[in-house]
Structures are given as C-alpha cells and as structure tokens.
Amino acid sequence: MKADLPVLDLEGVSRRYGAVEAVRDVSFALPQGARVALVGHNGAGKTTLMKLMLGLIRPSAGRLRVLGEDPAAGAAAARRRLGWLPENVTFNPALTGREVLRFFARLKDEPASTADALLERVGLADAARRRVGGYSKGMRQRLGIAQAMLGSPRALLLDEPTTGLDPAVRQGLYDMLGELAGGGTTVLLSSHALEELEGRVERVIIMDRGRLVADGTLAELRRLAQLPVRARLTLVGEGVPDWVGDGLAPRWLGANLLELSCPPEAKMEFLRHAAADARVTDLDLTPPTLDELYAHFLRGREGAVR
Ligand SMILES: Nc1ncnc2c1ncn2[C@@H]1O[C@H](COP(=O)(O)OP(=O)(O)OP(=O)(O)O)[C@@H](O)[C@H]1O
C-alpha cells in the first residue's frame, strides 16, 4: 500500500438492518497517524461503522477500503493490521492480565514477549500477575487497549474507550493514544463525551441517525457553525457600559460580572472596546463548546429533514 493512501476510506457507505438504516451514505477518509473522534447519540451508527471497517459486516451499498483492501472480502492481511476495542469489553475474570494478553497474542501469532511488553506500555506490568476479576474499570480498559495494540496495528478502532473512566485515567489513555498516533497509527474512537475531546483529537466526525452531519477539525467546525463566543466582563461601577449593544445579549451573572454573547465577526471590535474601557477589570473569552457545536449541527440536520 502506498504511504499516501488513506488508511480508512469510505465512499457512500450504507448499511441496513431490515427496515433500519443504521448507516446512510457515509463518506470519509482517514490518513496515517490521524486522531479522529466519531461522535453521536445512541443509535447514531458509530458501532455499525466500526464493524463495517473491521469486515464483520458488509455494506448494503457503497465502497469501503481498509489499507487499500476490502475488509469483508476475506483479505485477512488488512484486517490483521487493525486493532479493535469493543464497547464493554470483558475478559475471563479468572485469568491474570498476563494470561489474557498472552492468549490474544497467540491468536495473532505474536510472541508472548510482545504481550508482556504491551502490558508494560499500558501501565499494567505490576498488575500482570493479578486476576482480571480484581481489576478496576480503568485497568480493564488498559488491558483492552493492549489487546487492540497486539500485532502493531496501522489503525486502532476504539468503541467508547473512555466511558466510566475517571479523569486521571482518561488523561493517561489519551496520552497513550497521542503517542501511538505520533508513531503513525491512525486512531478512530467513538464517544458521547464531547467535552473531553477538546485538544485530544484533531478531527471530529458527527453522526446523527446513520448520517454524517459534520466532519472537520474543531476550528473548522467552529468556523462553519459561526456560533457566538461567550465573554465575561468583570466591571467596576454600575450598569451595562454604553458600548455594549443589545446585539451582544448582555446578562448579569453577579453584581459586577456581565456575560455577553459575541458573534465571531464582532469579536475584534468588542475586544477593542473592552480594552479601552477603564471599568473593565477582567475579561474571559470562551469559544463555543463542542456540545454547542454538536447541538448546532444536529439542529441543522433536523431543519434539512423537514
Ligand atoms: N444487529 C442489528 N440488528 C438490527 N438493528 C441493529 C443492529 N445493530 C445495530 N442496529 C441498529 O442500527 C442503528 C445504529 O446502531 P449502532 O449500534 O451502530 O449505534 P451507535 O451509534 O454505536 O450507538 P451507541 O452509542 O448506543 O453504541 C440503531 O438503530 C440500532 O438499533
């Protein structure tokens, strides 16, 4: 496969389950080393997309290429270069972490030493001889990721890998995914937890009821959505400053804390006014959150359906 070919490439892919169109006409291509999140409500089609990429199910329409090959055509070579962490992964609780990973290593024709090195890599070396039944949720997820990393996959598909993890464990997991992507592995993860993706993926694909409704970097999606920036001014003295028009939708959050909603095109003018006003003693700007973006694109979709 040529280096510049997309690792995962979908063109007009649909998948039906009887009357349910779980995935409808989805197209995207992910290059080597990309870190991408697939976000959407329950039933949006995220898991179905991953199963299609893994070749576990076939599309009803469209074309899918994984490392240049059709994953469902029995091209085992391409499938072996994919790592998968299913949602709610479970392992035999009576086995130790080391036994579990060595078992999966055998399935992938990998030496036991690779399994041991991966346990070290995901921070489970000290717990390797403990039974999985006694592992915390975070430890089980780490073991799941180690399992997905067996065979040095070119792409990792992770179905909701951070659900149920505490913030420190989640951060550790994203750090690990960042390192893998830095080394050239394409990482595609699905998530409901939009806020945690900020700064941790470079691209977000938003799904809604089987359709792709937005695809881009967070900055691109923010630009497309043209959502207002939230500004909070700390003020001395009484009343809303004269230069704050109704267009900024002023709203008092406290005796001297004023919140404004600033359209992107008015931001620089707003900053000039705020900087020149001696009554302003502090200023915070917050770009639209991922949840606001998500709501915006889903609203657009509802508008399109009507
Ligand atoms: N094997 C199946 N048989 C019938 N319908 C299915 C099957 N798998 C998925 N579906 C349906 O396809 C749609 C998409 O499901 P999918 O599991 O891909 O969504 P999801 O985005 O992963 O959701 P979640 O966040 O809940 O995991 C849903 O309406 C679901 O009920």
Q: Which of 197, 223, 249 is the last residue of a domain?
A: 223
Residue with the bigger pLDDT between 80 and 60: it is 60
State how far the Cα of 206 lies from the Cα of 25, in Å rounded to an integer.
14
pLDDT tens-place string over residues 271-288: 999 999 999 999 999 888
Q: In terms of Cα–Cα distance, which of 219, 192, 152 is closest to 37?
A: 192
User: 200 and 157, same structural domain?
Assistant: yes
Does ligand 1 come within 6 angstroms of the Cβ of 222? no
Task: Count up the domains in the chain and report the number.
Answer: 2
Nearest CA to ligand 1 atom 6: 17
pLDDT tens-place string over residues 117-157: 999 988 899 999 999 999 988 889 889 989 999 988 999 99
Residue 76 has pLDDT above 70, yes or no: no
Per-residue pLDDT at 301: 63
User: 250 and 162, same structural domain?
Assistant: no
Does ligand 1 come within 6 angstroms of the Cβ of 253? no
In the reported structure, the alpha carbon of residue 299 is separated from the centroid of ligand 1 by a whole-number distance in angstroms of 22
Global pTM reads: 0.83
Q: Which of 208, 223, 238 is the last residue of a domain?
A: 223
User: 44 and 70, same structural domain?
Assistant: yes
Query: Chain-wide mean pLDDT for the chain?
Result: 89
For range 5-21, the mean pLDDT: 94
Nearest CA to ligand 1 atom 2: 17
pLDDT tens-place string over residues 181-216: 999 999 999 987 777 888 899 999 999 999 999 999
What per-residue string of b and e applies to 247-279 under the rule 16 or more CB within 10 Å gives b?
A: ebebeeeeeeebbbebeeebeeebeebbeebee
Q: In terms of Cα–Cα distance, which of 37, 49, 83, 41 is closest to 202?
A: 37
pLDDT tens-place string over residues 85-115: 998 888 999 999 999 999 999 988 889 999 9
Q: Which of 223, 255, 279 is the last residue of a domain?
A: 223
Residue 176 has pLDDT above 50, yes or no: yes
Residue 273 is assigned to a structural domain of this protein: yes
* pLDDT band, very low/low/confident/very high, at 242 (cuts 50, 70, 90): very high
User: 67 and 182, same structural domain?
Assistant: yes
The string of DSSP letters for 44-99 reads SSHHHHHHHHHTSS--SEEEEEETTB-TTTT-HHHHHTEEEE-TT----TTSBHHH
Does ligand 1 come within 6 angstroms of the Cβ of 42? yes
* pLDDT band, very low/low/confident/very high, at 4 (cuts 50, 70, 90): confident
Residue 304 has pLDDT above 60, yes or no: no
In the reported structure, the alpha carbon of residue 84 is separated from the centroid of ligand 1 by a whole-number distance in angstroms of 17
Ligand 1, from 47, 52, 211: best to mutate by most atoms within 8 Å of Cβ? 47
Assign residue 218 the CATH number of its domain.
3.40.50.300
Residue 235 is assigned to a structural domain of this protein: yes
Residue 108 is assigned to a structural domain of this protein: no
User: 191 and 280, same structural domain?
Assistant: no
In the reported structure, the alpha carbon of residue 86 is separated from the centroid of ligand 1 by a whole-number distance in angstroms of 13
In the reported structure, the alpha carbon of residue 7 is separated from the centroid of ligand 1 by a whole-number distance in angstroms of 24
How far is residue 231 CA from its own chain's centroid?
27
User: 277 and 180, same structural domain?
Assistant: no
Cβ atoms of 197 and 290 closer than 8 Å: yes
Cβ atoms of 128 and 106 closer than 8 Å: no
Does ligand 1 come within 6 angstroms of the Cβ of 114? no
User: 272 and 210, same structural domain?
Assistant: no
State how far the Cα of 7 lies from the Cα of 155, in Å rounded to an integer.
7
User: In the numeric block, which tokens belong to residue 104?
Assistant: 């999966």
In the reported structure, the alpha carbon of residue 212 is separated from the centroid of ligand 1 by a whole-number distance in angstroms of 15
User: 264 and 183, same structural domain?
Assistant: no
Does ligand 1 come within 6 angstroms of the Cβ of 48? yes
Query: Which ipTM score applies to this complex?
Result: 0.96
Does ligand 1 come within 6 angstroms of the Cβ of 268? no
Residue 248 is assigned to a structural domain of this protein: yes
User: 65 and 15, same structural domain?
Assistant: yes
Residue 267 is assigned to a structural domain of this protein: yes
Residue 121 is assigned to a structural domain of this protein: no
* pLDDT band, very low/low/confident/very high, at 18 (cuts 50, 70, 90): very high
User: 77 and 12, same structural domain?
Assistant: yes
User: 173 and 67, same structural domain?
Assistant: yes
User: 246 and 202, same structural domain?
Assistant: no
Nearest CA to ligand 1 atom 31: 43
CA dihedral 30→36→40→45, nearest 10 degrees, is 40
Residue 216 is assigned to a structural domain of this protein: yes
State how far the Cα of 268 lies from the Cα of 280, in Å rounded to an integer.
16
Domain of 254, in residue numbers:
228-287
Ligand 1, from 13, 16, 17: best to mutate by most atoms within 8 Å of Cβ? 17
- What are residue 126's phi and psi, to 5 degrees? -70, -25
Residue 24 neighbours by CB distance under 10 Å: 19
In the reported structure, the alpha carbon of residue 197 is separated from the centroid of ligand 1 by a whole-number distance in angstroms of 22
In the reported structure, the alpha carbon of residue 206 is separated from the centroid of ligand 1 by a whole-number distance in angstroms of 16
